[in-house]
Amino acid sequence: MHVHHQSPGQSADSVTIIEVGPRDGFQSVGPYIPVETKLDVIGALHAAGVRRMEATSFVSQAALPQLADAEQVLAGVGALRGLDAQVLVPTVRHAERALAAGADHLSFVLSVSERHNYGNVRRGTLASVNDLMQIVALMPCGTRMRVNVATAFDCPHEGRVEAGAVLALVERLALVIHDAEFALCDTTGRANPAQVAALFQAARDRFPQIAGWAFHGHDTFGLGAANVWSAWQAGVRCFDAAVAGLGGCPYAPGATGNVATEDLVWMFEQAGIRTGIDLGRLAAVARDVVALPGAQTGGRVRDALAARACLPAGTVAA
Amino acid sequence: MHVHHQSPGQSADSVTIIEVGPRDGFQSVGPYIPVETKLDVIGALHAAGVRRMEATSFVSQAALPQLADAEQVLAGVGALRGLDAQVLVPTVRHAERALAAGADHLSFVLSVSERHNYGNVRRGTLASVNDLMQIVALMPCGTRMRVNVATAFDCPHEGRVEAGAVLALVERLALVIHDAEFALCDTTGRANPAQVAALFQAARDRFPQIAGWAFHGHDTFGLGAANVWSAWQAGVRCFDAAVAGLGGCPYAPGATGNVATEDLVWMFEQAGIRTGIDLGRLAAVARDVVALPGAQTGGRVRDALAARACLPAGTVAA
């Protein structure tokens, strides 16, 4: 195993799971989820031990009506003690909205793939780098930034993304801001464990000045947990996940969402690596999330915990 | 990564996937599957490139009526060129049946956990070691043996199984037969990647005389692929899997089956490791298997391949 170094404040046997269900998860749900329900879920996640969360996204209300209540959600999470709540901001204008609403941890997104960046935020990748520069200039002292590098492994339009293109973009981004957390995102879920380990090893070796690394994965092809484990072996200690594997797309059965938070908590805790999250309480939240109208969910642990041990006498099992 | 040595006939970048759907998968299906249907599935798997298979099990017909046609299945697979078809035999009596039916590759199973062994084959673990000794004495020259060490990581009754207990049992077994393939089986799906790597590293270091190692995993807790990848990193090159993730238990929702063959083929091929199996043809077989009455299925890749790429413009995706 390759464990290069640890993020500050973490022991070798702990990881930080960043709950992105309220952003990446809820945004995929069709029927509007009332802000009270969102805050109930967020509060229950906090009560289960979640201490980092992507709470909402400041985006076009026309494009994503589900997240039109970003200001209210951000105001609501302020009451939760010790919660580090980041909010997604894809452009300068939305960053201004987020800062005006009191956000102290921004999460910026841009894609290695030009075409994906156009589809996602309607501008080229270098225009997004310029946006980031302007946002950094706007940030009051003490505001933190996480940079999400989308399509870092694979693009829905262009296929496999080469590591060289990712590293070249990170190099530009590191000139704009180096005291940010950088997340390499498997947007399509088509990354494989060898690719994940290789990219993080290369990135960490090449950019020692970058403060922290995170991995954002999807379980679409069943490799959500395997890729997270591989990133962990490459020294990554921060992982995005969505409660109940929330996400997916109403138009495409099988295009599942983020790796499920409860699956990662299970994996790490079973391996003796602390997450700070109570699996039983988290699974209870996950079952409530499954019941939300329009929720597309994934993950295994929720049902496996609910099922009783099953090996009737006389079955030949291996 | 720890890659100690390779099995004969395999390059560093290839693995052998052993399809266990016709045994571990079919045995969990309630309604009887006609032998013709079984042979159709087996033939289609062979046509997709599968060259090792656990084709059936010689067990008590009262306990497992689904596999009462073992002789007919074994006779049928004989026509498939280049297929190495092993058959499960839990006791001396059933091994005698299998050998009389012409089996040339036996697969024996016993559990580290006394209690699981009693539940599974109605005798203690050392009685099973004695059975293996008698079976080895019966085997004509050229007959091969695979030994499945069940509950090698976790037991449904006793919980976590210590590595020392597994190694002590393997030591006894290696005195009985050393030119067998030994499979360490995660019977409950509760193994984690750190545990899988540690056990295989310890076993391979301690028993260099053992000809080959295999990993048999279940995806019940979402770690099927992660555990396989971890075993691969520890030098294992043979993996059990069931088409469509077949398995599970009709009495326990969520108690899912073996890791899906198509998920492993996807993972390895994406990582540049050859399986010899055509994923498109395999996925087509998997979809037919899903349609079998009473089939409980799992895996992600089948649906993900069927779903169209899904990233509508204006969605903010990471």
Q: Give B219-273 pLDDT, tens digit per residue.
A: 999 999 999 999 999 999 999 999 999 987 655 555 678 999 999 999 999 999 9
- pLDDT, tens only, B70-117: 999 999 999 999 999 999 999 999 999 999 999 999 999 999 999 999
Residue carrying structure tokens 């901001």: A89
Q: What pLDDT score was predicted for residue B211?
A: 86
pLDDT band of residue B29 (cuts 50, 70, 90) is: very high
Distance, in Å, from the CA atom of A94 to the CA atom of A87, rounded to the nearest integer, reads 10
Distance, in Å, from the CA atom of A159 to the CA atom of A253, rounded to the nearest integer, reads 20
Contacts 24+ apart (CB under 8 A), A83-87: A83/A46, A83/A50, A83/A51, A83/A52, A83/A53, A84/A51, A84/A52, A84/A53, A85/A53, A85/A54, A85/A55, A86/A18, A86/A52, A86/A53, A86/A54, A86/A55, A86/A144, A86/A146, A87/A23, A87/A54, A87/A55, A87/A56, A87/A57, A87/A58
Tell me if residue B287 falls in helix, strand or coil.
helix
- Minimal Cβ distance to A316: which of B109, B300, B313: B109
Answer yes or no: are the C-beta atoms of B228 and B217 closer than 8 Å.
yes
A229 at interface of B, judged by CB pairs closer than 8 A: yes
Fold of A16-306: TIM Barrel (3.20.20)
Q: What pLDDT score was predicted for residue B271?
A: 98
Helix A193-206 and helix A163-176: axis angle, to 10°?
Answer: 40
Residue B309 and residue A157: Cβ atoms within 8 Å? yes
DSSP 8-state assignment for residue B222: S
CB pairs A-B closer than 8 Å:
231
Cα–chain-centroid distance for residue B288?
20
Residue A299 and residue B222: Cβ atoms within 8 Å? yes
Distance, in Å, from the CA atom of A299 to the CA atom of B238, rounded to the nearest integer, reads 26
User: Is residue B313 pLDDT above 50, yes or no?
Assistant: no
Give the gyration radius of chain B's Cα atoms.
Answer: 19
pLDDT tens digits in sequence order for chain A, 318 residues long: 344 444 444 556 999 999 999 999 999 898 999 999 999 999 999 999 999 999 999 999 998 999 999 999 999 999 999 999 999 999 999 999 999 999 999 999 999 999 999 999 999 999 999 999 999 999 999 999 999 999 999 999 999 999 999 999 999 999 999 899 999 999 999 999 999 999 999 999 999 999 899 999 999 999 999 999 999 999 999 999 999 999 876 555 556 789 999 999 999 999 999 999 999 999 999 999 999 999 999 999 999 998 754 444 455 667
Residue A55 backbone phi and psi in degrees, to 5: -80, -30
B156 at interface of A, judged by CB pairs closer than 8 A: yes
When pLDDT is averaged across residues B40-49 and rounded to a whole number, the result is 98
Q: Which of B141, B155, B185, B249 is catalytic?
A: B249
C-alpha to C-alpha distances, A93 to A22, A59, B147, nearest whole angstrom: 21, 9, 64
ipTM surpasses 0.90: yes
Q: In the numeric block, which tokens belong to residue B297? A: 């299925």
Q: What pLDDT score was predicted for residue A12?
A: 64
Residue B255 and residue A157: Cβ atoms within 8 Å? no
- pLDDT, tens only, B111-144: 999 999 999 999 999 999 999 999 999 999 999 9
- Minimal Cβ distance to B120: which of A121, A252, A315: A315
Q: What pLDDT score was predicted for residue A287?
A: 96
Closest of A107, A108, A179, A101 to residue A141, by C-alpha: A179
Establish whether B155 is a catalytic residue.
no
Dmax over Cα atoms in chain A, in whole Å? 69
User: Is residue B39 pLDDT above 60, yes or no?
Assistant: yes
B186 at interface of A, judged by CB pairs closer than 8 A: no
Give the type of residue at B270.
Q
> Which positions in chain A touch B270 (Cβ < 8 Å)?
190, 192, 195
Residue A120 and residue B311: Cβ atoms within 8 Å? yes
A12 at interface of B, judged by CB pairs closer than 8 A: no
Residues 194-223, chain A, touching B (beta carbon < 8 A): 194-195, 216, 219-223
> Which positions in chain A touch B255 (Cβ < 8 Å)?
304, 307-310
Tell me if residue B125 falls in helix, strand or coil.
helix
